[in-house]
Amino acid sequence: MLDMNTNRRDLPPEIARRRTFAIISHPDAGKTTLTEKFLLFGGAIQMAGQVRAKGEARRTRSDFMAMEKDRGISVSASAMSFDFKEFRFNLVDTPGHSDFSEDTYRTLTAVDAAVMVIDGAKGVESQTQKLFEVCRLRDLPILTFCNKMDRESRDVFEIIDEIQENLAIDVTPASWPIGIGRDFIGCYDILRDRLELMDRADRNRVAESIEINGLDDPKLAEHVPANLLEKLREDLEMVRELLPPLDPKLMAEGSLTPIWFGSAINSFGVKELMEGIAKYGPEPQIQRAEPRQILPEEDKVSGFVFKVQANMDPKHRDRVAFVRLASGHFERGMKLTHVRSKKPMAITNPVMFLAADRELAEEAWAGDIIGIPNHGQLRIGDTLTEGEALRVTGIPSFAPELLQGVRAGDPMKAKHLEKALMQFAEEGAAKVFKPAIGSGFIVGVVGQLQFEVLASRIELEYGLPVRFEATQFTSARWVNGARQAVDKFTESNKQHIAHDHDGDIVYLTRLQWDIDRVERDYPEVTLTATKEMM
């Protein structure tokens, strides 16, 4: 049994063994390959296939969905669970493309840690950096996997330096690579004084591991060529002098990241990383909520919606709300209160995505992700409890950075378009604004690519060709303030006013100047770029 480094030993064992995390990386660093190897070592699939889907087409959709399609294995689109030793891992998918940063942010509210995958030849790339910043906002613990060590990579100290410099986080090596590129033979496991040798011939096998009694053990020389051994000893000497040791407390606070070196495609270093997740995870954490925070070990069940996915099966207009359980032991059939509407909901057919299959979840514990099929009652940010009026906080909605008008190709279908748009807005795929003056809708997104994805989804899922067109507006702000002040403001600025899908008032802007003007002329109203979802 791995000794768990939990700081809260009073958790029920079922909760203490859960590890809920996401993988963050730049496209091509190896997230898909690593996910597949996790499943392989978790016993969820028998044979890893090759990653076939390539490029943008795959990344505009969920990577997991693409895997499902390409490999015929059934994985979910948003979260997968599998066992590793005595642990239950819940891996939550983050959208691969930078255009989906808002969705990514929300996903990261549902996890307790993130695995950062970097390409050993490329180091910290732009998307990694962005995602890392999001993790930093929540002080998420980060475990780093430096991938593709079987190929020519950068100098290891240089990579570590770059992480420390660019991401302002301390790095501590959990393993150390021996040889580089074609000479790479494996790693020295610093945490456990073991030699791990890579088997290049069999990509699906766990590598050979040799117990070593410190760096002076003569066994080392039997397995490592003299020149590499000398370099290894020198490197580790420097590591000891220059880099901090692994301090679980600093790691838990997100100020220190352990780094493992490996090659996902060769299944090398993956098991050690999984053991790292098991050991330093951490276990399900306390959830911020109002009027009080939620402890995972509370008897009563609570959870919150962090993602809604519609039309998972285009033949049925079903929606699945993904709920992260914040506390308690959930059992199928339970009645939970939907706090926003104060209505009870019987959760009769929740699904869980045990990597092999989408299954009915008979039970689940704090830390788990369950999917609840529904007809639109459940929205992002909603809290479910056993009756108490709690509201999970910290799930924001961001102001869009790009706006376009949208029109149905066939003007007779305007009503259908409205329905489709509202649904995407509720799903969180876009912001939809209905201007106070005139007809039509304005759609707001964070990245250009989202317009294309939306257009193709509206056509595919609703059989409705649409046209996006330029608008004079570039951004939107939510309007807050006392009722009278807001009424006066909207009355005199009608041409800028619209309502979002919740009916909240927004001010559409053309230039920063517009915002400055409002701040100057209407000191009693405030414009905000984020809205807390509720």
Q: Each residue of 524-534: b (16+ CB within 10 Å) or e? A: ebebeeebebb
93 is in an annotated binding site: yes
Tell me: does residue 446 bind ligand G4P (CB under 6 A).
Answer: no
The answer to the question of residue 115 lying near ligand G4P (CB under 6 A) is no
Beta pairing, strands 497-499 & 505-509 = antiparallel
CB of 43 to ligand G4P, least distance (A): 20
Q: Which residues, other chains included, contact 222 with Cβ-Cβ below 8 Å and sequence gap of 6+? A: none
Shortest distance (Å) from residue 63 CB to ligand G4P: 6
Strands 369-374 and 319-327: antiparallel
Q: Give the dihedral sign, CA 292/295/299/301.
A: positive
Confirm whether residue 28 is marked as ligand binding: yes
CB of 51 or CB of 476, closer to ligand G4P: 51
Q: What is the CA radius of gyration of the chain?
A: 25
Q: Is 30 annotated as a binding residue?
A: yes
Contact track, ligand G4P, 10-49, x by CB under 6 A: ---------------x-xxxxxxx----------------
Q: Is 81 in contact with 88 (CB distance < 8 Å)? A: yes
Which two tokens mark 265?
A: 């495609």
Is residue 47 annotated as involved in ligand binding?
no
* Residue 324 C-beta: closest distance to ligand G4P, Å: 23
Is 498 annotated for ligand binding?
no
Residues 248-307 that bind ligand G4P (CB under 6 A): 263-266
- Closest CB to ligand G4P among 32 and 76? 32
Contact call for residue 182 and ligand G4P (CB under 6 A): no
Is 17 within 8 Å of 86 (Cβ atoms)? yes
Residue 31 assigned to a binding site = yes
Bridge partners of 233, per DSSP, are none
Nearest distance from C-beta of residue 51 to ligand G4P, angstroms? 4
Q: Which two tokens stand for residue 115?
A: 């695995």
Quick check: 424 and 74 in contact, CB under 8 A? Answer: no
Rule CB under 6 A: is residue 50 a binding residue for ligand G4P? yes
CB neighbours (10 Å) of residue 247?
14
Which one, 11 or 274, has the nearer CB to ligand G4P?
274
Helix 449-462, helix 414-427: angle, nearest 10 = 120
Q: Which is nearer to ligand G4P, 202 or 230 (CB)?
A: 202
- The answer to whether the CB of 390 falls within 8 A of the CB of 339 is yes
The CB-of-26 to ligand G4P minimum distance in angstroms stands at: 7
29 in a labelled binding site: yes
* 14/28 with CB nearer ligand G4P: 28
Contacts with 472 (C-beta within 8 Å, 6 or more apart), sequence order: 510
Assess 71 for contact with ligand G4P (CB under 6 A): no
User: 135 or 361, CB closer to ligand G4P?
Assistant: 135
Look at strands 466-469 and 343-346 and give their pairing.
unpaired
Under the binding rule (CB under 6 A), the answer on residue 147 touching ligand G4P is yes
For ligand G4P, which is the closer residue by CB, 31 or 279?
31
Q: How far is the CB of 127 from ligand G4P (least distance, A)?
A: 10
Kindly tell me which residue out of 61, 122, 138, 151 binds ligand G4P, with binding defined by CB under 6 A. 151
117 to each of 92, 120, 127, 144, how far by Cα in Å?
A: 15, 9, 11, 6
Binding-site residues for GTP sit at 25-32, 93-97, 147-150
Residues in contact with ligand G4P by the rule CB under 6 A: 25, 27-33, 50-52, 54, 63, 147-148, 150-151, 263-266
Binding-site residues sit at 25-32, 93-97, 147-150
